[in-house]
Amino acid sequence: MPAYNAEKTLAKTVNDLPPGSVDEVILGDDCSSDRTVEIARTLGLTVLKTPRNLGYGGNQKMLYRAALEHGGDVIVMVHPDWQYDATKVPDMVGPIAAGRVDLMMGSRILSGAETMPWYKYISNRFLTGVEELTFGLRLSEYHSGFRAFSRRLLETLPFERNSNDFVFDTEVLAETAAAGFKAGELAVPCRYFAEASEINFWRSTVYGLQTLLVCLKYRLAPRHYKR
């Protein structure tokens, strides 16, 4: 769980994990200014802290490194903002554990995206269209904050090279496509409320433009996304 000021929603997200569905929950704290770390310790999570505020991508790099070191076979990433229905973790892990795919995406679009604000829905659909034409992973959305990876995939992708910002998530999918891994998806209901959606319009726009740049770069020179 890549966390940044998640004190209000962390416990709810952790409590949604079906008992016995995961061996370890690792929380990466990117220098939150609230009680995220205290709450995570109370909940019994493994807590890692970034040395300084690295950003969402930098936080994930630290987490995937740790998940591999700790011996994870299937590694699940879910935002601790209670936006995605974390009761679905076993359904996300299943197809990977069975060896059918190496990446699973929790799709808000497949579940109807009813609560998604209209401007997010439209930009998600547009960017996903461009990404599908570029990467061809056959996904209904490329922007989910609920993902699962096989160990093999994380060991193969050169994710350490990626951005420390939000576009990290897009680069992971570009690398997944470049390496020829198969992806699958699951309909995952989502919730929108203040604490679950704090990225402002400007940062969303920057993320959108950076995503388009990744697509362009992939078209021109896919080797950038290969190990």
Ligand X SMILES: Nc1nc2c(ncn2[C@@H]2O[C@H](COP(=O)(O)OP(=O)(O)OP(=O)(O)O)[C@@H](O)[C@H]2O)c(=O)[nH]1
Residues in contact with ligand X by the rule CB under 6 A: 2-4, 30, 55-56, 59, 79, 81, 83, 120, 143, 145, 196-199
**Residue 3 C-beta: closest distance to Mg ion, Å:** 12
**Residue 98 C-beta: closest distance to Mg ion, Å:** 29
In angstroms, rounded to a whole number, what is the distance separating the alpha carbons of residues 48 and 96? 26
Q: Which is nearer to ligand X, 105 or 178 (CB)?
A: 105
**Residue 155 C-beta: closest distance to ligand X, Å:** 24
Q: Which is nearer to ligand X, 168 or 225 (CB)?
A: 168
DSSP label at residue 18: P
Q: 120 pairs with which residues across the strands?
A: none
Q: Which is nearer to Mg ion, 38 or 195 (CB)?
A: 195
- Whose CA is closest to 158, among 179, 141, 182? 179
**Residue 201 C-beta: closest distance to ligand X, Å:** 10
Residue 46 in contact with residue 26, Cβ under 8 Å? yes
Provide the b/e sequence for 142-151 (b: ≥16 CB within 10 Å): bbbbbbbbbb
| Residues found in the chain | 227
Residue 143 binds: one of Mg ion, ligand X, none (C-beta under 5 to 8 A by kind)? ligand X
Question: Burial level of 51, CB count in 10 A (0-12/13-18/19+)?
Answer: exposed
Residue 41 in contact with residue 10, Cβ under 8 Å? no
**Residue 97 C-beta: closest distance to ligand X, Å:** 25
Q: Which is nearer to ligand X, 156 or 197 (CB)?
A: 197
Residue 61 binds: one of Mg ion, ligand X, none (C-beta under 5 to 8 A by kind)? none
E strands, 65-193, are: 74-78, 103-107, 146-150, 183-187
Residue 59 binds: one of Mg ion, ligand X, none (C-beta under 5 to 8 A by kind)? ligand X
What is the distance between the terminal CA atoms of the chain, rounded to a whole angstrom?
A: 25
**Residue 227 C-beta: closest distance to Mg ion, Å:** 30
Radius of gyration of the chain (CA): 16
Question: Burial level of 129, CB count in 10 A (0-12/13-18/19+)?
Answer: exposed
Q: Which is nearer to Mg ion, 113 or 196 (CB)?
A: 196
Q: Which is nearer to ligand X, 78 or 215 (CB)?
A: 78
| Residues found near Mg ion in the complex (CB under 5 A) | 81, 83, 196-197
Residue 106 binds: one of Mg ion, ligand X, none (C-beta under 5 to 8 A by kind)? none
Residue 3 binds: one of ligand X, Mg ion, none (C-beta under 5 to 8 A by kind)? ligand X
